[in-house]
Amino acid sequence: MGKKGDLSDCERMVVGSRRAGLSILKTADLLGFSHITISKVYREWSEKEKISSERQLCGIKCLVDIRGQRRMDRLVRDDRKATVTQITTRYNQVQTPWTRFRQHENTTT
């Protein structure tokens, strides 16, 4: 019987979403994978209760590190009504002490 450590994070999300009752298509839309990948991962997990470690179905690397995630959380928390485009623009702006000073200067005048 497989252990929890045999599943990658992506595979855990797929299995968890399917076990929570989401359909294959909703899981695919939510996680950004093809419905074929979702189907294969879940079928293999349900048949074997694990997925062999040599198969790498989820080749997506994390694009944001811990610091970037905290920054993103702060941006969303500061303006909950902002659109994804607005948050992306703010996230991609280079933040230096000088630009922060200028932003503060513009908001106070």
pLDDT of 1 reads 38
Residue 74 belongs to domain spanning = 66-108
Query: Percent of the chain, pLDDT > 70?
Result: 65
What is the chain's mean pLDDT, rounded? 76
Domain for residue 44, yes or no? yes
* Pairwise CA distance, residues 13 & 1, whole Å: 20
Domain for residue 59, yes or no? no
Domain for residue 37, yes or no? yes
Give the position of tokens 């694009």.
Answer: 63
Same domain, 41 and 70: no
* Pairwise CA distance, residues 104 & 101, whole Å: 5
For residues 37 and 57, is the Cβ–Cβ distance under 8 A?
yes
Domain for residue 34, yes or no? yes
Judge whether residue 44 has pLDDT over 50: yes
Domain for residue 60, yes or no? no
* Pairwise CA distance, residues 87 & 72, whole Å: 8
Instruction: Count up the domains in the chain and report the number.
Output: 2
| pTM (whole model) above 0.75 | no
Same domain, 97 and 70: yes
Domain for residue 33, yes or no? yes
Position 6 confidence tier, pLDDT thresholds 50, 70, 90: low
Position 15 confidence tier, pLDDT thresholds 50, 70, 90: confident
pLDDT of 95 reads 65
Position 104 confidence tier, pLDDT thresholds 50, 70, 90: low
